[in-house]
Each structure stands twice: as structure tokens, then as C-alpha cells.
Structure 1
Amino acid sequence: MHASVESLYLGRWGIALLVISLYPIIRAIYNIYFHPLSRVPGPYAWSASRIPFIYALLKGTLIQDIEKLHRTHGPVLRIAPDEVTFAQPEAWNEILHVRQGHQEFLKDPTWWRTQPKQPVSLISAINPEPHARIRKLLSSGFTPRSLRAQEPFLHKYVNLLVERLSECASRSPKQTGAEINIGTWFNFTTFDIFGDLGFGESFDCLQNSRYHPWIALLFSSVKAASFIAAARFYPLVDFILIKCIPESLKKMQRTHYQQIVDKVQRRLNYELERPDIMSHVIKGNEEGGGMTIGEINATFMVLTTAGSETTATALSGTMNYLIHNRDKFQALEDEILNRFQDESEINLDALRTLPYINAVLNEGLRLCPPIAWVLPRRVPAGGDTVCGYWLPGGTRVSIQAYTMNRDANYFHQPSRFLPERWLSEATTNPKSPFFTDKRHALQPFSVGPRSCMGQHLAWAEMRLIMAKLVWNFNFEAVEGKMLRWEDLRNFLLVEKKPIDVRIRLRNTATKQQL
């Protein structure tokens, strides 16, 4: 009797272990063949499990891996059991705009929700109501009218950039010039600009020719964001990870956040009026219905990154392509040096009308999008159709900007740096090789109610920085140090690698002759 009970007990355990061991296989078979998304094209391994996605995310090759899959399976791609990503222009409107007769696709909490006990920010607000309230308050600080008042701030830091690079060039032999990492200097400039516009004080990166500790910590922790996102797909892992964070790291996070809190507080205590971004928040709060102090702190913390790192990335990528395409650089030099007789004439209004610098920057944004992958939204309850595919409620949907921008179906010779595709002749002359380019596929600042408010500021910074650098310096590639942008890893932000260039002070007489 005892033996039979023991055998029954062991048998039940055996069955339980068998079921547990077979569950992943059964689940994978269901995901591939019977899941509501089973008819969406995609590789079996990615459709069966979230693991291939997470592996690519943690390696930093998710963007490149998905691009390869799109080339095989088409513009609509299943990249996980419950996620579909799109690389076709129609997806911009169908996912990010609020379409008449459709519910809004809200941000996926897996990526966007705030950390426990942290206030909501403009970017982390999933609910449309708080997002709209915060955005309305901030938007006045990013209008073209506000930008005109803020232009002196931009000139101040771009001129300081020129001064620092001039010092580097003057310390080097005139024949060879100075070898610098231009990407670092772009970051110094954009973070200093936003520091002044956001908090009334710069980060003094240009002044000290080094990163502020807050920014250095930000860049050193970029990879950690991917690990946090990956853990959130598995609640138990996420729970354990949070519990295992050492106290020293928690203290570092608090210190990091407190530095922004202190900057915000100092700006709020200013008695002097200034036309910066925070002035509009202060005015809105005085009129009622504004932002809580927690929302201000959280929002300006994320805006510091979103308003600085992305612009610097676009400039870095553009310059990297320019120095390896001398004919394009020469055309840009000709435009700048012929248009302005003196550096004092270079201003935002004048630069806005120059066709080639705008074409160069558009092409840089196409090949080097700072946000290469538009993070997922969730299909609303009841399901909806995107790009001809009906998707059940809760499905994660994202947009692959990097893939779309490099697709031969949308751009002629998509892997080449060809600013000419953005000139007026390309849109009006049927004989132009770029006439059929789908330029609306490029949306570097996104679309819809959550599109980038800072796009006017970003364009102003990019034009002014590029124009003043071209006016003052000759740029050359450093032999043997070519960077392939396609090889850079992406951990939500583009991995920082040196973009080495050689600079020499431009001959003033040459400018006058041109």
C-alpha cells in the first residue's frame, strides 16, 4: 500500500514536471500557428518567443537586426508573440495620429511607465489628459516666436564652441590642424544651450571643455535602460531586479535626480525675467491649472536629455557623412561662404532660407535618426487595423524609422548621403533620380499629439552650429579613423563612438574672395 501511494505521488510529480517542461514548446507552437497574429509575416523564432527580441535589445543590435528581417519579410513584421512593427509611411498616421472613428493608441507601459514613487513627466504620461495639460503649458516656450527671443542664447554658446575649437586649432601645426572628436563638442554645446534655456544656467561643458558629472553619468548608464526595459517583460525578474539594486546605486540615482531638482529650484527663485522655457511654466502656474513641482522636476530632467542628446546625435551623424563626402561638404561651404560677407550676418532667419544646409541636415536626419525606433504603442481594446492588418487589442505596435529611411522603395540609392534629394529640383523635375522619393516617410520629430515640441529649437541649433563651424574652419577626415554609422549599437539612444575630424582655422582672405 505504501509503495503504491509513493508511486502515485512520484507519478503526479512526473506529470507536473513533464507539463512544465513542455509548456514553452506548446506555447511556442500556439504563438506561431494559432495566435491572432499568426498571419503577420515574421521569422518563427521571433514569433514564438520574446527571447530573440530581448537578446538583440541587450546586444544593442535590435535596429540592424530588425532591418534585416524587414528586407526578408516585408514592411509589416512580427517581432514578438504580441508585437508588430512597421516600416512604411502610412504607419505614422495610423499609429500616432488620433484618427476619426478610432481610439487613441496609448504608449506601452512596459517602456513608458514611471518608476515607483516618481512623478509623471511629459514623456512618461501615458494618460492623454495629464500629457495634454503639461504639453500645453510647455508648448509656448518652443514656438517660433519664443525662439526669436531665445536666439541670443544660441549665439552665445555656438560662439563659445567656435572659440574653444579655435583654441584647439591654434595649438596645432597649421599644416596638419587639430584632431578632435567633434561628437563630444556637439554634446557640450547642445547640453549647455538647454541648460540655459531650461534652468537659467548652463552645464558649463564648453566653459570647462568636459562633461558635467550629471551628463557623464547619463551617458554611462545608457545601457542600463535596455536591461530595465528587458526585465519589465518578465514581472518576476523585474521585481527581483528592483529588490536587488544596491543601496549605493540607489543613492547615485537620488543624487542624479537631486541635481535637476536643485537647478529647477534655483530657476524658480529667479527674480529676473528671462525668455526661457521655464518662464512659460511659471506663468502658467500663476494663472492656475499648471504643473506640480514633481512634474516640473521630472519633465525637465527628461527634456534635458531629449532636447540635447538627440540634436547632438543628428549633428554628429551629419558631420560624419560630410567629411567622407567631400563634394557635399564643398557645396555646403560654397553656400555659406557666398551667402555671408561677415560672421555677424549669420542668423536664424537667414539660415532658414538656405536650401543646401537644410538639405544636408535633412539627409543627416534620414541616415542618422536620433530616435531610430519609435517605441511601442498599444492597440486599444477591441482591436484596430494598421496598414491593412487587423490587430487585437493590447498588441504592441512600433515604427522602424531607421529601416524606412534606408528602404529603396522610398528613397533612390537609400544608403548614400545625397542631400540633393531634398532640393526643389528633386520635387519638380520628373527627370531627377529623386523625383519619386517618398519624402513624407521621413518624420524625425514624429507626428501626432506627442510629436516633438522642440523641433524648431533643434532645427535652429543644427543650422547655426553647422553654419558657424563651416564659416570658421576647414574640416577633413582623419585617415584610418572612418566611423560607419551603420555599425553603431543602439540602446534606446545611439551608442557614443568618437567621430574624429581634423580642423584648421579658415583663411579670412579666402572667405572675402568667395
Structure 2
Amino acid sequence: MSSLFTGDFSIPKLALLVILLSISYHVSISVYNLLFHPLASYPGPILHRISILPRTAYLLRGELPFHVTNLHAKYGPVVRIAPDELAFCDPQAWKDIYGHKPQGQDEFPKDNKFYRPIKSTPANIFSSSRNDHALLRRQLAHGFSDRSMREQEHIIGAYVDLLVKRLQEHSKGGTKALNMREWLNWTTFDIIGDLGLGSSFECLEKAEYNPWVRVITKAIKSSSYMQAITAVGGTRLVTWVAQSGLWKSRQTHRQLVREKVMQRMELGAERPDLIEGLLKKQKEWQMSLRQISINASRLIVAGSETTATLLSGTVFFLTTHEDKLAKLAHEVRSSFKSDEEITLSSVGDLTYMLACLDECLRMYPPVAVGFPRVTPKGGGTIAGHFIPAGYTVSVWQWAINHDPRFWTDPYEFKPERFLGDPRYKNDRFDAMQPFSVGPRNCIGKNLAYAEMRLILAKIIYNFDMRLDDGALNWLASQKNYVLWDKPVLGVYITPVTQ
């Protein structure tokens, strides 16, 4: 190598020097990550331990949750899936990472590489600091309270009734397979549009996607790509793309949310929706229109796509398990004498339906990845392992929900496990936390359950369902980009004569 520094220092020699220095740098980093890094003692594939690239590749391929599950099966309950990241598969980890902390002890902050890859984005209910989150949550809680849900019932019920009407019109007496993925998406987006922004997307009214809804779904998938770029050190590139206008789906979505929020604010009168609490505090907190809009945007996506996903999964599992579907149909149809009796309140008595929804949440969690947190100053102990400060940690939902250490028949749809069946007495129900735990658990959990029960009950009461043969591999063929990329879910539905 000394010859590089003798004689004329030509361009080829300079290029060779740069290449050799680059190789030396990356070899040094790899050796450090493998042997001397603070997380070096934790198991995992060598390539994952020395570089972020394998993790990023699986994310971009839509296979990361399944890959992490395989890694847990091979390496155990704690796996190093990237140089600075550990995945945990232990019920205790839910409490240690996400749970409430004693007075004076720091919580594990959210990992901004996941929740806020673009630093210029205003903090919101999902990415704000501990203190700001508490204030935001307190105000938003009004829209998710039991009182608000009772006041929202006529809004939600009207859209569910419209769904039933449209299914009756389009099913052609059970001779045409309907794409239930679309119909359930349209329903949940219409509901959340009204509850969050004061007006519907009119998907059910027109029996088609609102262009905005298509923009939202595109933006969700694009976000995974941006997270991948951020993970490999491309934060500035992601910020530039966002600010340059090249990320058109994001830009369009933001503008449409802004316009909708302005329309909602112009209504003036109070209404039992999800952002009323923020609007009341707008002047006191000096919240900008942009800050209110970003929170409304997060509520719309979280309150629509995840609910529709879970309902789609439930329809798939029920139609592939005819005995479960028959049992649920008996429960629903024997519990009500008329369609009008099915309300947000009355569906709460359907115990087998709740078991079906819970089992689907286990088998097909709408968010299959981990909710990444960062170990706080001074580090933290997770499931008996002390982790130094500054490293990403999480529990991966797909992995822990299918771990045979915690579940009997983990890959089989068995609602009976949630009804005290002795065959499943050893199941660890605390391993499943689809809404997370602690101070940042899902604020919309009760609304989601009530909405899903009402929609499913109305469908089961009014229709018989049969899965189209082309959808038998519906779940097996799916990719996951944080959220699921769901294919067509063809179902024949036949109106029931009550």
C-alpha cells in the first residue's frame, strides 16, 4: 500500500486509496459490532449483528415480522436483529418496555426513526414527549369516552346500516363474490371520517374508493420505505423528499386533511367527535392548524385501516372454519329479534363474537411488527436483561402471538381458548397485547371493539357467507409493511330471511 504514496499521485491511485479506506472502515465497524458492541453478547445472525442492511431488506420485502418470528424460534426470547436493536418475545417484556414506571423512573421513549422519521413533522399523539402526550391524550380522551360513544352511536349505526343496504344491492342474491376487503375499508373510513373530521368520505354512498382513501393507503406503504431509508442513515434524504414535494401521496394527504379540519372548525357547534377536545384547547395551547391536522391525520389512519384489517381477517377465518361461523351465526341470530335491536351496547353481550375477534387479533394482528422504544438514560431491565441506554427494543406482535411456548396450537384458529376451554388452560393470555400496554396504549381500544362488534353482528345477522375459492390463500400470500398489504377477499354473501 506504501506504493500509493510514491511517485505521481494519480486519480486511479486516489480512487484505490478511497476504496481501501472505505473497506477498512466497514470491516472495523463490523468487527466492533460483532465483538465489542454493548449488545455483542445477544444472539442473532452474524449479518444482522454487524449491519442494519439485512433487517432493512426484509422490511422492504414485506417479510420482517415472519423473519423475526423465525429468529426467535432459532435463537430464543431475545434476538439481536440489528446492531443497535433487540427483539423480545416474553410477556414480561410488555410491562418492562411499555408499562407504567414508578415515580422518578424514566419511561422508554418512542424511537423516532419509526414514529417520526421526518423531524420537521410536528409532534403528535403518537410521537410526542411524555408530558406533551399526557396533555394531548387527556383532551382526546373526551372523544373516546363512554359518553361520547353513546352520542356517536347514531353516526356509527347509520354507516353500518348503509353497509348492509349496499351489500344487499351488490351481492345479487349470493351469485356474485364481493371483495369484502373493500367494503370493510369503505365502512371504517366513512365512520372515522365523520367522527374525526365531521364528514364522510362517501365511500359507501358511491360504492367506490374516495380518491383520498387511495392516497392514504399509498402513503402508508411509502412510509415503510422512508423508514428503511432512515434506518440506513438517509434521514436528510427523507426530509428532502418530504419537503421537495416528490412524495406526492403524503403531500396530497396533508393538504386534504388540512382542508377537512378547516371545514370542521367552521362548523362552530360542539359535536361528539374525536377532535372536539383539541379544538377546545386550540387557543389556550396556541395549537397551529398544522398541529391539529397532524393529530387528526394520525387518528384517521389508526382508526380506519387497523379496524378494517381485523374485520377482514375475522371474515377470512370464519369462512374457512364453517363450524365457527355457524356457532357465531347462532349466537347472533338467537340474541336479536330484529336488526334494530343490534346496537353498540347490545353487541357487548355476544361472548362468542368477542372470542372470535380476540382470536383473530392473536392470529392476525393489524400491526404485526414491534412498537419500537429506546432504552432510557441509565438503561433499563427487560425480562431480566439489563440493556444500556440508547438502544432500540420492542416486542414483535406476530412473533409472540405465535410462540408455542405461550399458546397451544399457535397457528390454529381456536376462539374457544378465550372462553375457558381446558385444552388451552396453559395459554399465556398476557403475551397478547394488540393495543399495547401502559400510558401509551391505544386510546381507541373501546371504540374499535364496539365498532367491530357492531359491523360483524350486522353482517352475520343479515347474511350467510362463503369464501371464494380464489381467496383460500388470502393470508398466506400477504406481505407486511408495518401494516398488511391485503389482496382481494372474495366472499359470496346471501341475504338471510329472518
Q: If the TM-score is normalised by the length of the shorter chain, which range does it land in?
A: over 0.9
**29, 32, 46: which one aligns with 2:31:** 29
Aligned to 1:391: 387
Q: 1:297 aligns with which of 293, 299, 312?
A: 293
Deviation at 1:15, TM superposition (A): 6.3
State the 1:60 CA deviation: 0.8
Matching residue of 1:352: 348
Whichever residue aligns with residue 148 of structure 2, its letter is: S
Q: Deviations over 1:187-242 (max 9, x none)?
A: 1001100111111101101001111111101212333212211111233x343455
- The equivalences for 1:19-98 within 5 A come to 19-98=21-100
Asked if structure 2 preserves the Cα contact closer than 8 Å seen for 1:320 and 1:483, the reply is no
**In 2, Cα distance between equivalents of 1:483 and 1:230:** 28
- Residue 18 of structure 1: how far off its partner (Å): 3.0
Alignment counterpart, residue 481 of structure 1, candidates 471, 482, 488 = 471
State the AA in 2 paired with 1:341: K
Q: Could you tell me how far apart the structure 2 residues matched to 1:117 and 1:393 are? A: 25
Give, in whole Å, the separation in 2 of the partners of 1:56 and 1:42: 15
Once residues 303 and 100 of structure 2 are traced to their aligned partners in structure 1, the CA distance between those partners, rounded to angstroms, is 25
Q: Helix, strand or coil: the match of 2:86?
A: strand
The residue aligned with 1:136 is 138
Distance across 1 between alignment mates of 2:80 and 2:245: 40
Residues 119-158 of structure 1: pairs in structure 2 closer than 5 A = 119-125=122-128, 127-158=129-160
Question: Matches of 1:9 and 1:392 in 2, distance apart?
Answer: 46
**8 Å Cα contact 1:472-1:505 kept in structure 2:** yes
Aligned residue for 1:492? Answer: 482
- 1:455 equivalenced with 2:463 (yes/no): no
Aligned match for 1:214, one of 207, 212, 215:
212
The 1:251/1:485 distance shift into structure 2, 3 A limit, reads closer
Secondary structure of 1:502 counterpart: strand
Q: Secondary structure at the match of 2:371?
A: strand
Aligned pair count? 493
Q: Cα offset for 1:38?
A: 1.3
Assess, with a 3 A threshold, how the Cα gap between structure 1 residues 152 and 12 changes in structure 2: closer, same or farther. closer
How far apart in 2 are the matches of 1:495 and 1:251? Answer: 20
Whole-Å Cα distance in 1 between the matches of residues 19 and 8 of structure 2? Answer: 14
Is contact 2:91-2:431 (8 Å) kept? yes
The residue matched to 2:160 in structure 1 has which SS?
Answer: helix
Alignment partners' CA distance in 1, 2:157 and 2:170:
20
CA distance 1:12–1:465, shift in 2 (3 Å): closer
Partner of 1:338: 334
| Aligned counterpart, 2:461 | 471
The corresponding residue for 1:199 is 197
Q: Is the 8 A contact 2:218 2:249 kept in 1?
A: no
* Deviation sequence 1:366-411 (CA, Å, 0-9, x none): 1111111123111112222211222111111011111111111111
Q: Distance in 1 between matches of 2:88 and 2:257?
A: 36
1:267 lines up with 2:264 in the alignment? yes
Deviation (angstroms), 1:290: 6.9
Contact 1:379 / 1:394 at 8 angstroms: preserved in 2? Answer: yes
| Structure 2 residue identity aligned to 1:320 | F
TM-score between both structures, scaled by the size of structure 1: 0.91
Task: Please say which of residues 12-21 and 370-379 is displaced more in the overlay.
Answer: 12-21
Consecutive unaligned residues in structure 1, runs of 5 or more: 427-431, 509-514
Question: 274, 277, 301: which is aligned to 1:277?
Answer: 274
Which secondary structure state, in structure 1, belongs to the residue aligned with residue 169 of structure 2? helix
Instruction: Give 1:75 shift.
Output: 1.4
Structure 1 residues 500 and 96: alpha-carbon distance in aligned structure 2, compared to 1, 3 A threshold: same
Contact 1:134 1:290 in 2 (8 A): no
SS at match of 2:66: helix
Q: Which whole-Å deviations, capped at 9, do the CAs of 1:31-63 have from their partners, x for residues lacking one? A: 122211111121111111111001001111001
TM-score (norm 2): 0.94
Correspondence for 2:176 among 164, 178, 195: 178
Specify which of 111, 114, 118 is matched with residue 114 of structure 2: 111
Contact 1:134–1:291 at 8 Å: present in 2 too? no
Deviation per residue, 1:87-138 (Å, 9 max, x gap)? 111111100123226321101121122635432221122x212222111110
Measure, in 1, the Cα distance between the counterparts of 2:60 and 2:468: 31
Distance 1:244 1:290, change over 3 A: closer
Q: Deviations over 1:141-183 (max 9, x none)?
A: 10122111111111100000000000012xx3x4x53201101
- Code of the residue aligned with 1:489 in structure 2: it is K
TM-aligned CA deviation for residue 16 of structure 1: 6.0
Pairing of 1:375-390 with structure 2 (within 5 A) = 375-390=371-386
Which deviates more, 45-54 or 481-490? Answer: 481-490
Aligned 8 A contact 1:142 1:277 in 2: yes
CA contact (8 A) 2:56 2:231 kept: no
What SS does the corresponding residue of 2:186 show, helix, strand or coil?
helix
- Greater displacement, 214-223 / 73-82: 214-223
C-alpha contact 2:367 2:483 (8 A) present in aligned 1: yes
Kept in 2, the 8 Å contact 1:281–1:290? The answer is: no
Contact 2:117 2:227 in 1 (8 A): no
CA distance in structure 2 between the partners assigned to 1:498 and 1:216 by the alignment:
15
Deviates more, 1:19-28 or 1:459-468: 19-28
- Compared CA separation, residues 350 and 246, structure 1 to 2 (3 A): closer
Distance in 2, Cα, partners of 1:26 & 1:297: 46
The residue type paired with residue 136 of structure 1 is R
Q: Which residue of 2 aligns with 1:503?
A: 493
Cα RMSD for the two superposed structures: 2.2
Gaps of 5+ in 2: none
Give the distance between the partners of 1:351 and 1:245, measured in 2 at CA. 43
Once residues 343 and 18 of structure 1 are traced to their aligned partners in structure 2, the CA distance between those partners, rounded to angstroms, is 74
Following TM superposition, by how much is the alpha carbon of 1:26 offset from its aligned partner in structure 2, in angstroms?
2.6
Q: Percent identity?
A: 36
Secondary structure at 2:298 match in 1? helix
CA change 1:120–1:471 in 2 (3 A) is: same
- Rate the CA distance shift 1:221–1:484 in 2: closer, same or farther, 3 A: same
Q: Deviations over 1:236-257 (max 9, x none)?
A: x343455467966356543321
Secondary structure of residue in 2 paired with 1:77: strand
Query: What is the CA-CA distance between 1:282 and the residue it aligns to?
Result: 2.8
1:114–1:120 contact (8 Å) kept in structure 2: no
How do 1:406-425 and structure 2 match up within 5 A? 406-423=402-419, 425=420
- TM-aligned CA deviation for residue 29 of structure 1: 2.2
Contact residue 119 and residue 239 of structure 2 kept, 8 A? no
SS in 1 for 2:441: coil
Q: Secondary structure at the match of 2:423?
A: coil
